[in-house]
Amino acid sequence: IPLDDLPQVWSYLYTTAKAAGEDHVTSIEDCDDDEDGGVAPMAGFGCGLPLSRNYASYVGGRLELNTMPSFGTDAYLYLNRLGNAQEVVDGEMGYANLPTRLILPRTG
């Protein structure tokens, strides 16, 4: 992920995926695992990273990206393995307002 694009990857519907007609494979390294060598049909909608970060936050974890130009991007998912974290629920402003959080006690 280029450094300039890193802040945008957390926005819903931001994508760098090519349109279906633009898929052009020039070498075996560029080929996906799909049978036709193209882009997976459900890839590129721009919801994967933001949803993953919200799911991780909900269970008391976090998702971080570290990118190094010309080398690649590493994704780190941290989850509480003890199981004693409380679910985090956003305030009345909705999911877009991540800094405002309400912590509810765990029942059961």
SS3 (DSSP) at 75: strand
**C-alpha pair distances (Å), 62 with each of 20, 53, 65, 86, 107:** 32, 6, 10, 13, 22
Q: Mean per-residue pLDDT for 1-17?
A: 84
More confident site: 56 or 102: 56
Instruction: Write phi, then psi, for 23 (nearest 5 degrees).
Output: -70, 115
Checking if the pLDDT of 104 tops 60, the result is no
So what's the pLDDT on residue 93?
40
- Enter the pTM of the model: 0.58
What is the sign of the dihedral through the CA atoms of 23, 28, 30 and 36?
Answer: positive
